[in-house]
Amino acid sequence: MDEKLNAQVPGRIKELREILEISAMDMASDIHVSLETYNKYESGELDIPISALNSIAGKLGTDVTVLMTGEGPRIDSAAVCRKGKGVQVERYPGYEFSSLAYNFKGRTLEPLLVRLDSSQPAAAQVAHSGQEFNYVVAGRMKITIGSAEYILNEGDSIYFDATLPHGQSALPVSEGSSAFAAFLTIIQK
């Protein structure tokens, strides 16, 4: 997603929250973040993790696609996403994802293609409801789940309880090389 579109997400969230007469305090409580953190999401000062974006969409009674694009999903039988055509979001520098099923109505899974760049600082771990599957498409990555660390190479996968704090980071393929990794993640909503 380009920066202009990315900057529109907090405004959409605030507008829908106000239309539905949900206080920022109630929203923060319902998605399990502090009011300060939530206010930073709405102001655009803090990037919104996909798990929080899904929780916010649920609380607002809408699809995450509406928050990301301003339009609702339209397909209910089969949604094709061509190479490079998913809705792209830079969650924070060094972590960008492309939503691969953004146009399918009533999704219960959120498939994302994620690109990691180790030249940027790693983000804090996140936790969300459901389960998650990661499949490494390119490069090497480290995934931390709770206190356990797993090194995954291209072709490796992991399935885990997403309520446990977790995070992914790219690892160099060889010593001294820059680290890039891409993985497919499927998150159960």
Q: How confident is the model at residue 122 (pLDDT cuts 50, 70, 90)?
A: confident
Q: What share of the chain is helix, strand, coil (3-state, %, to 5)?
A: 25, 35, 40
Q: Which two tokens stand for residue 79?
A: 């949604």
Phi, psi of 112 (to 5 degrees): -135, 145
Closest CA to 189 of 164, 165, 166, 162: 162
pLDDT, tens digit, 9 for 90 and up, residues 36-94: 999 999 998 888 887 788 889 989 999 888 898 888 888 889 999 999 888 887 766 77
Q: How confident is the model at residue 4 (pLDDT cuts 50, 70, 90)?
A: very low
Counting residues of the chain whose pLDDT is more than 90, the rounded percentage is 51
pLDDT of residue 64: 87
pLDDT, tens digit, 9 for 90 and up, residues 10-37: 999 999 999 899 999 999 999 989 999 9
Measured CA to CA in angstroms, residue 84 lies from 80, 88, 98, 180, 186 at distances of 12, 9, 8, 17, 18
Phi, psi of 107 (to 5 degrees): -55, 140
Element (H, E) at 182: strand 180-188
pLDDT of residue 128: 84
Q: CA angle 177-1-160, nearest 5°? A: 65
pLDDT of residue 176: 67
What are the chain's domains? 3-69 (1.10.260.40), 87-188 (2.60.120.10)
Could you give the CA distance from residue 4 to residue 143 in angstroms, rounded to a whole number?
Answer: 30
pLDDT of residue 172: 82
Q: What is the dihedral of CA 45, 49, 54, 55, to 10 degrees?
A: -70
Measured CA to CA in angstroms, residue 119 lies from 46, 85, 151, 179, 185 at distances of 20, 25, 18, 7, 21
